[in-house]
Structure 1
Amino acid sequence: MKRFLKRLLTHDWKTARVVHHAVLEAQDSQYAGPQEPLPEPIMHALHALGIQSLYTHQAAALDLLRSGRHVVVSTATASGKSLIYNMAVTEALLQNPHAHALYLFPIKALSRDQWDALNTFFAALPGATPLTAAVYDGDTSDRQRALIRRKPPHVLVSNPDMLHYALLPYHAKWESFFRGLRYVVVDELHTYRGIFGSHVAQILRRLQRITDLYGARPQYIFLSATIGNPGELAQKLIDQPVETVAHSGSPRSRRHFVFMETEGPLASLAARLTQDAVRSGLKTIVFTQSRRMTELVHMSLVRAAPDLAPKVSSYRAGFLPSERRSIEQGLAEGRIAAVISTSALEMGIDIGGLDVCVLVGYPGTIMTTWQRGGRVGRSGRESAVILLPQPDALDHYIVRHPETLLNGSYETAVIDPDNSAIVAAHLPCAAAEIPVHAEEAAHWASPRRQALVSATHGGTLVQSEDGRKWFATASYPHRGVDIRSVGPSFTILGPDAKDATRWIPIGTTDGVRAFKECHPGAVYLHRGRTFVVQSLNLEKRIARAVPQDAEYYTWVVSKKETEILEILASKPCTAFMARLGRLRVREHIAGYEKKRLFTQELLDFTPLDLPEQVFETVGFWVEIEETIVEKIHRASLHYMGGIHAMEHAAISVFPLFALCDRNDIGGISIPLHPQLGKSAVFIYDGYPGGIGLAARGYDIVESLLERTLDLIESCPCDEGCPSCIHSPKCGAGNTPLDKAAALEVLRYLLGRKPLGSETDKEATREKTPVLEVAAASASKPEPAIGFLDLETQKLAQDVGGWNNKHLMRVSVAVLYDQRREALEVFRESDVAALIDRLHALDLVVGFNIKDFDFQVLQAYTPKPLQHLPAFDMLEALQEQLGFRLSLDHLGEKTLGRRKTADGIQAVQWFRENRWDLLIAYCRDDVLLTRDLFFHALEKGYLVYEDRSGKRLRVPTPWNLEKILQEYGQKEDKKRSILKRRRSAGV
């Protein structure tokens, strides 16, 4: 390893260079025992396998399982997670030989590998009672399946696909198995995210219906690579509380992480590094991002070093099961010294101790990077991981910011168990297994109940005469549900190699992507071969493709529109508004371009006549104020090119925050959105109904834009390139793009540059707040009346003027509840509760409340605050006099009390973290407002002083009952109008 590293770090690689070298020091083992000793047979088996002690995380997980909890263990690769569930399951089987366990793995190779490990563990147990295990997957013969169903083993090893298609639909044939089901093991939890994870959540809910039917209450054991939210993800999958074990006690050997850059072909550099490693006696694994790259690296290596050909192999999907297992065995036994693989080998298949991992392209997530890098160093020896970036924005961001990978937090895995399309697809499956009862549906969440209604209206479910049960109209609806996609899928057919007149399935794709990937003329890759699509039948949902050596790839050109259907959440950020909502996305594919491989030279454009695609999803968006637009135009920069570049870069770095790839999300930049009346950049889930990614993006939107700015700033190019603002998925052909404009927009949005510096009276004038009267004054009225005032985090000049009050953000708000005689203080994190309180009041009273307080608060809610019953004292006095008076002036002249500070001072206190002074000032303003209001009601006037110094009365013919009645009638009228609009479908 020392010899290899010295050459790697000092060699002149001509077109490549080492950018960063990090050394991760070794970590010692941490051991612990469970609270109660393990049964003697299990201790005997552990010792027979060379295991003398348990790691701390293994003991902690075992204790939780023994207490009856559902558990997720999220620790690094090779930390002994499989031993946890094998021990727990074995202990249960020793206590009850009629019990069963179900092991679920996402891929067949891992199922077989873990089945072997389980059999080894069972074989090490002493005694005459054998425990049995069997694999039930797509490679299991019909004869074996029948035998397994007839006499189920103690442990059934399978995958979510077989559970969906073969076990749950025929649960009556598995009755004894389900009755005795004690544990359900879900390994590689991190793979159950996005669309696949949302489907698996429905499958596991259906499994729970089956086990409930047979009286079983199995515990769930989840195993995951290190992710940001293992407990949350596991809980969403089964809709039950799950305990998390995340601290690992397993050892870690010394590891080197080397970041490189190259201007030459990636395949050649990867092959040279692999050759050097193998000749240094180091077992090596190369991970690539595509089947094509896998074969290119393998081919380059064999051509450069023919003598190594017997010792190296590629490994990817498409190989026969026997080929894959032969390669795995060759690695484990040492006959194969290097393997070049796609993602197929990143999971816990036992391939022995490896020393070097070469990553050809950033794997897309921090979690996957460590998962793949964790394949080396298992033998306790020093190891190395080498990252070679592809010409992609995210790849180059990681190489230029290695601390993001080395010190950053792990991404969040996102699913949406309430995705309407997915729920509607699984409800007929559930009803075909066990009829859905009204009592059961009554406890469902609203989206699930709505999906039940939709499925009934759509004809996939039918109700009983009494309306208490739902049945599936199809006898086996499961075959129509592809758990790897959403909505109806397209089948891709290719000619049979043995009979060219016969067409056979070679792949599938979901409806959203079919137009982009399977249009006539599209290049489609399958098993390392290049196909060109001949035809796309939209009615039969079939694409026909023929083999063809194509030295180009295809890229669709499209136009998109986004319609806002509903705003779900809203919040002010540094210098922009962020909102989350339901969207309707319309996309029309105008044609496709042919581009030469590697050089990306444009060869041709072909128009297409395809129907417009329309789907509803969830998205978040950043609203950009006109102030910023004007500044970009005044700087002679291309504004549309700027927000378009910002959209591309934001999508590129999005996977740093959520486990996804660029294909899972879409975006659109709009200089003037007709519904918003301003510019906006939208990012949305690329699947109908949404899968939770947009909600995650809304939560971290400011951090996302910070990373976006870092990406663009750190790229050395002058005008933009694939490493920063170009997108390989752009439907507009990466035009227009303006790197300089994108940087300026982001700097304004994130407060790096001020929106304005107005110094006129309007910009610096203090906002007249609101205070309240002592509880002793005035008799307590029966209606629920609240007096409100708030202070902000920013001044008008900080956000570009008073037109942008929605960007000023709440620092503190005070509400006086007249009926309860209580003051309530709200900070920004409490604004949602404040808004709920305001909606519960009969009347909200304030000073300048409509033009200021509500404008600031509106940024935090999609509910229109102008509908609230509110009495604005400043508005009423201005109508009476024709000019404005300040709260400070009225308080001094009427009550002899002045305001204790002003809005500028309040912002300064906020910045200094002086909450005591800030809250006291806001509270005093509320009390002052309330005193003036009741003085006006009782005396019929307030006092002010004119410019000549005369003290005068302003009449206040305000009547509380009339005010309440007037606003009550207004609300009744609004409700009536809204009801008519809803009934008309508006």
Structure 2
Amino acid sequence: MKKFLHRLLTQEWKSARVAHHAVLEAQDPQYGAPHAPLPKPLSQALHALGIRRLYKHQAAALDFLRSGHHVVVATPTASGKSLIYNMAVTEALLQNPHAHALYLFPIKALSRDQWEALNTFFEAVPSATPFTAAVYDGDTTSHQRAVIRRKPPHVLVSNPDMLHYALLPYHAKWESFFRGLRYVVVDELHTYRGIFGSHVAQILRRLQRITDLYGARPRYVFLSATIGNPGELAQKLIDQPVKTVTHSGSPQARRHFVFMESEGPLASLAARITQDAVRLGLKTIVFTQSRRMTELVHMSLLRAAPHLAHKVSSYRAGFLPSERRSIEQGLAEGRIAAVISTSALEMGIDVGGLDVCLLVGYPGTIMTTWQRGGRVGRSGGESAVIMLPQPDALDQYIVRHPETFLNGSCENAVTDPDNPAIVAEHLPCAAAEIPVRAEEAEAWAPSRQQALLSATNRGTLVQSEDGQKWFAVAPYPHRGVDIRSVGPSFTILAPDGQNKTRWIPIGTTDGVRAFKECHPGAVYLHRGRAFVVQSLDLVKRIARAVPQDAEYYTWVKSEKETEILEILASKPCTAFIARLGRLRVREHITGYEKKRLFTQELLDFTPLDLPEQVFETVGFWVEIEEAIVERIRRANLHYMGGIHAMEHAAISMFPLFALCDRNDIGGISIPLHPQLGKSAVFIYDGYPEGIGLAARGYDIVEALLERTLELIESCPCDEGCPGCIHSPKCGAGNTPLDKEAAMEVLRYLLGRKPLGAEETKGGLQQEEAQGFTRPEASAAKPEPAIGFLDLETQKLAQDVGGWDNKHLMRVSVAVLYDHRRKTIEVYREHEVSTLIDRLHALDLVVGFNIKNFDFQVLQAYTPKPLQHLPAFDMLEAVRQQLGFRLSLDHLSEKTLGRKKTADGIQAVQWFRENRWDLLIDYCQEDVLLTRDLFFHAIEKGYLIYEDRSGKRLRVPTPWNLEKILEEYGQKEDKKRTILRRHRPAGA
């Protein structure tokens, strides 16, 4: 290892250099002991396996399980997590030999690897009745399955797919197993995110229905790589509280982390480093970010060192099971010295001791990087992890800011267990297993109840005569639910080498990728060979490809548009409004480019005629005000190029906050969105109905834009490059892009550059009040719910670019006087949603300039259209009577003899000085003054004002409270009816 590191760090690389070298020192173990001693047979087994003491996290997790809790353990790779559940299950079996456990792993290779380890563990346990384990997956023969069903083993090792397709639908055949089920182990928890996680959440909920039926209460044990929210993710999957163990007590050998930069082809550099490591006897694993790069590195290595052909191999999803197992076995036995893999080998399959991990491209997340890097050094020896960044914004950001990775916390794993489309798919499965009961459905969340109604209306569920049960229409609806991918999968066929007229499968791809990777003319790489797709059959879901010496690769171009279906949430940020909502995305692939291998030189463009892809999802967006647009254009910058670049860079930075990659999210930037009437940048979940990423993005939108600006500003290029604003998946071919415009837009949005003062367009500034009296309310009838409202803001109009941008001014404090209750309610910004709910519950809202100011400020916080509220605006009513406006200050002084003592500028100053006592008192006085003026006008029929000559005159106020309530009540009923019939998009 020393010789290899010395060569790596000191030699002159032709087009690369070492940017940063970090040494992670060894860590000593931290031991612990469970509260109660282990049973003697279990202690003997541990000693027989060479385990004398437990690590701290192992003991803590075991104590939680013994106390009856569900547990998630999130510690680094090779920290002994599997021992935790093996000990707990063995202890349960020693107490009750008829007990059972279910082990779930996300991939078959890991299942068989852990099954072998479990058998070794069981063999070490002295017991009168030997404990048994069996693998039940897609590779288990029909005869073996029948044997296992007749006599279930103590531990059944399987995966979520088999649980969905084979165990739950036929639970009656597994009755003894489910009755005795004491533990459910869910390994590699971090993989159950996104669309896969949404499916698994439904499967585990269905499992709980089955165990409830048979009277079992199993404890769930989740194991995960280090992620930011293990407890939250585990709880989402089973909808129950889960105890969390995250502090690892396992030792860690010395590790080297080397960040490199390269200006040349990464595949060639990776091949050269791998060749050096193999030559020095170091077992090496190379992780890539794509199937294409996996094959390119393999091809480069074979060209540079053909004598290593039998010692190296590629490995990725899409390989046939027999190919994968042969490679795994060769690596474990030492016959293969290096393997080039996609993410398929990052999980805990035992492939023997590895020394060097080469990351060709940043894996996209801190968690995944540590997971892949944890594949080396497991035998206790010194190891090295080397990262070669791609010409990609996130990769370049990590190399320029290595502390973000080395010192940063792991990202959150995001999934949506309530995805309506996925819930609707699984409800017929659940009903086929056990009919859904009405009392059961009554306890469900509204979204799940809606999915039940939708499935019933679609005819996949049918209700009993008494309406108390739902049954599945199809006898086996499970086969129609693909829990791994979105849309139907496609099979890639190629001519058989032995028989050219016969086509054999060489791989698979999901429906989303098929249009982009298996279109006619696409280059498909497989095990170092290039295949060109001849045809794509959309009905039979088959792509036919022939081998060809293609010295190019292909990349599709597309056009997209986004329609807002519903706004779910809204909030004002520094100088913009962020919203979360349901979107309809349309994408049309227009053609593909051919680019030369290694140099990426554009060769030509070929049009394609493929059907448009349309799906509904969840997204968030940043609304950009016209004031910013004007400033960008006045600076002679390309505005569309600026927001397009901002979109690319923001998507690049998104994985710093959530476990995802570019394929999980999409984006579109629009200079004038027809529904919004302004510019906006959208980022959305790349799957139907959403998977929770957009909701996460909405929560951290300001932090995301901060990182986005940091990325662009720190890039040394002049006009933009793949390291900052170019996107490898841009359907528009990375045009137009304007780096300087992107930075300027972001600086305005984040308040780095103030929008500055704009000319006041005759708008009346928010009026403040002073002093108040409490007139006695006369009411012969039950009093209506009338509220008097006023609010103060955090910013002045000049801070947000003028009065047209009132929605950016943000609430500092709002006061509502409830006339019926005679109470004053004070709301700060974090309580605005509660205030808005209160306003919607009132019969009438009264204010001064309320429609043109207060509601404009509040609208930034809610998707509910405030213009439909029954509101009486005194300023508006006075202006209609006189033909001109009078201020609240003027009317209060002349009518009530009370002059205001401050103004809106002072209120903002108080907010900035944190003088909440003065600010709240001031706003309360304003509200009560508005109330007093309103009832004076109602009772007297006039207000007093003074003209320019000094004459005191009356403003007639023929306002009748009952008529006002009747008029606004009718308007509200009418508007609600219209909204129910025709809900406007984006409202």
TM-score strictly above 0.5: yes
Query: What residue in structure 1 maps to residue 975 of structure 2?
Result: 974
Query: What residue in structure 1 maps to residue 426 of structure 2?
Result: 426
Give the superposition deviation at 1:714. 1.9
CA distance in 2, matches of 1:302, 1:630: 56
Q: Which amino acid aligns with 1:853?
A: D
CA distance in 2, matches of 1:91, 1:447: 40
Residues 761 and 803, structure 2, Cα contact 8 Å, conserved in 1:
no
CA distance in 2, matches of 1:761, 1:315: 66
Structure 1 pair 891–149 and aligned structure 2 pair: CA distance change class (3 A): same
CA distance in 2, matches of 1:890, 1:384: 77
Q: Which moved more, 1:575-584 or 1:962-971?
A: 962-971
Q: Secondary structure at the match of 1:584?
A: strand
Query: What residue in structure 1 maps to residue 614 of structure 2?
Result: 614
Cα-to-partner distance string for 1:926-979 (whole Å, 9 max, x where unaligned)? 233223333333444434343344444434333333322222122122234335
Give the superposition deviation at 1:423. 2.4
CA distance in 1, matches of 2:842, 2:146: 67
Q: Which moved more, 1:463-472 or 1:163-172?
A: 463-472
Query: What residue in structure 1 maps to residue 930 of structure 2?
Result: 929
Tell whether 2:959 aligns with 1:958.
Answer: yes
Residues 683 and 694, structure 1, Cα contact 8 Å, conserved in 2:
yes
Tell whether 2:909 aligns with 1:911.
Answer: no
CA distance in 2, matches of 1:826, 1:166: 55
Query: What residue in structure 2 maps to residue 595 of structure 1?
Result: 595
Residues 104 and 186, structure 2, Cα contact 8 Å, conserved in 1:
yes
Tell whether 2:845 aligns with 1:844.
Answer: yes
Q: Which amino acid aligns with 1:668?
A: I
Structure 1 pair 464–527 and aligned structure 2 pair: CA distance change class (3 A): farther
Query: What residue in structure 2 maps to residue 190 of structure 1?
Result: 190
Residues 65 and 88, structure 2, Cα contact 8 Å, conserved in 1:
yes
Q: Which moved more, 1:541-550 or 1:178-187?
A: 541-550
Query: Where in structure 2 are the equivalents of 1:88-487 lying within 5 Å?
Result: 88-277=88-277, 282-298=282-298, 300=300, 314-317=314-317, 338-487=338-487
Give the superposition deviation at 1:831. 1.1
Give the superposition deviation at 1:241. 2.3
Q: Which moved more, 1:512-521 or 1:630-639?
A: 512-521
Structure 1 pair 174–888 and aligned structure 2 pair: CA distance change class (3 A): same
Q: Secondary structure at the match of 2:226?
A: coil
CA distance in 2, matches of 1:509, 1:467: 42
Q: Which amino acid aligns with 1:179?
A: R
Q: Which moved more, 1:197-206 or 1:301-310?
A: 301-310
Give the superposition deviation at 1:776. 7.1
Residues 569 and 862, structure 2, Cα contact 8 Å, conserved in 1:
yes
CA distance in 2, matches of 1:568, 1:365: 28
Q: Secondary structure at the match of 2:65?
A: helix
Q: Secondary structure at the match of 1:535?
A: strand
Query: What residue in structure 2 maps to residue 875 of structure 1?
Result: 876
Tell whether 2:818 aligns with 1:829.
Answer: no
Q: Which moved more, 1:895-904 or 1:168-177?
A: 895-904
Q: Which amino acid aligns with 1:651?
A: I
Q: Which moved more, 1:839-848 or 1:777-786?
A: 777-786
Query: What residue in structure 2 maps to residue 767 of structure 1?
Result: 766
Query: Where in structure 2 are the equivalents of 1:569-580 lying within 5 Å?
Result: 569-580=569-580
Q: Which amino acid aligns with 1:66?
A: R
Cα-to-partner distance string for 1:40-65 (whole Å, 9 max, x where unaligned)? 22222223323333223222222222
CA distance in 1, matches of 2:508, 2:455: 25
Cα-to-partner distance string for 1:59-82 (whole Å, 9 max, x where unaligned)? 222222222222211122122211
Q: Which amino acid aligns with 1:8?
A: L
Give the superposition deviation at 1:177. 0.8
Give the superposition deviation at 1:873. 2.0
Tell whether 2:519 aligns with 1:516.
Answer: no
Structure 1 pair 240–526 and aligned structure 2 pair: CA distance change class (3 A): farther
Tell whether 2:550 aligns with 1:550.
Answer: yes
Give the superposition deviation at 1:484. 1.2
Give the superposition deviation at 1:540. 3.5
Q: Secondary structure at the match of 1:486?
A: coil
Query: What residue in structure 1 maps to residue 32 of structure 2?
Result: 32
Residues 422 and 487, structure 1, Cα contact 8 Å, conserved in 2:
no
Which structure 2 segments of 5+ residues have no match? Answer: none
Give the superposition deviation at 1:864. 0.7
Structure 1 pair 531–432 and aligned structure 2 pair: CA distance change class (3 A): farther
Query: What residue in structure 2 maps to residue 866 of structure 1?
Result: 867
Q: Secondary structure at the match of 1:718?
A: coil
Cα-to-partner distance string for 1:609-658 (whole Å, 9 max, x where unaligned)? 23322221111111111112222222222222222222222222222222
Q: Secondary structure at the match of 2:719?
A: coil
Query: What residue in structure 2 maps to residue 785 of structure 1?
Result: 786
Q: Secondary structure at the match of 2:553?
A: strand
Give the superposition deviation at 1:853. 0.7
Residues 414 and 693, structure 1, Cα contact 8 Å, conserved in 2:
yes
Q: Secondary structure at the match of 1:719?
A: coil
When the two chains are superposed, the root-mean-square deviation of aligned CA atoms in Å is: 2.8
Residues 292 and 528, structure 1, Cα contact 8 Å, conserved in 2:
no
CA distance in 2, matches of 1:481, 1:499: 35
Cα-to-partner distance string for 1:344-380 (whole Å, 9 max, x where unaligned)? 3221223444443221111111110011122233344
Give the superposition deviation at 1:908. 2.4
Give the superposition deviation at 1:330. 6.2
Structure 1 pair 445–576 and aligned structure 2 pair: CA distance change class (3 A): same
Structure 1 pair 761–513 and aligned structure 2 pair: CA distance change class (3 A): closer
Structure 1 pair 592–82 and aligned structure 2 pair: CA distance change class (3 A): same
CA distance in 2, matches of 1:230, 1:942: 63
CA distance in 1, matches of 2:251, 2:465: 63
CA distance in 1, matches of 2:489, 2:271: 38
Give the superposition deviation at 1:182. 0.9
Structure 1 pair 156–18 and aligned structure 2 pair: CA distance change class (3 A): same
Q: Which amino acid aligns with 1:101?
A: A
Structure-2-length-normalised TM-score:
0.94
Query: Where in structure 2 are the equivalents of 1:673-692 lying within 5 Å?
Result: 673-692=673-692
Q: Secondary structure at the match of 1:871?
A: strand
Give the superposition deviation at 1:302. 6.4
CA distance in 2, matches of 1:633, 1:507: 50
Residues 770 and 788, structure 1, Cα contact 8 Å, conserved in 2:
no
Structure 1 pair 922–688 and aligned structure 2 pair: CA distance change class (3 A): same
Query: What residue in structure 2 maps to residue 651 of structure 1?
Result: 651
Q: Which amino acid aligns with 2:861?
A: Y
CA distance in 2, matches of 1:619, 1:70: 33
Give the superposition deviation at 1:857. 0.4
Give the superposition deviation at 1:581. 1.2
Give the percent of matched residue pairs that are identical in Structure 1 and Structure 2: 86
Give the superposition deviation at 1:841. 1.4
Q: Which moved more, 1:619-628 or 1:487-496?
A: 487-496
Cα-to-partner distance string for 1:679-704 (whole Å, 9 max, x where unaligned)? 11112122222212211111111122
Which structure 1 segments of 5+ residues have no match? Answer: none
CA distance in 2, matches of 1:210, 1:831: 43
CA distance in 2, matches of 1:921, 1:618: 41
Structure 1 pair 289–557 and aligned structure 2 pair: CA distance change class (3 A): closer
Residues 775 and 932, structure 2, Cα contact 8 Å, conserved in 1:
no
Q: Which moved more, 1:409-418 or 1:884-893?
A: 884-893
Tell whether 2:796 aligns with 1:795.
Answer: yes
Structure 1 pair 928–22 and aligned structure 2 pair: CA distance change class (3 A): farther
Residues 34 and 63, structure 2, Cα contact 8 Å, conserved in 1:
yes
Q: Secondary structure at the match of 1:259?
A: strand
Query: What residue in structure 2 maps to residue 854 of structure 1?
Result: 855
Residues 573 and 702, structure 2, Cα contact 8 Å, conserved in 1:
yes
Give the superposition deviation at 1:662. 0.9
CA distance in 1, matches of 2:806, 2:472: 54
CA distance in 2, matches of 1:397, 1:640: 24
Query: What residue in structure 1 maps to residue 892 of structure 2?
Result: 891
Cα-to-partner distance string for 1:449-474 (whole Å, 9 max, x where unaligned)? 33334334444334445554443343
Q: Which moved more, 1:297-306 or 1:700-709?
A: 297-306
Q: Secondary structure at the match of 2:817?
A: strand
CA distance in 2, matches of 1:710, 1:385: 26
Structure-1-length-normalised TM-score:
0.94
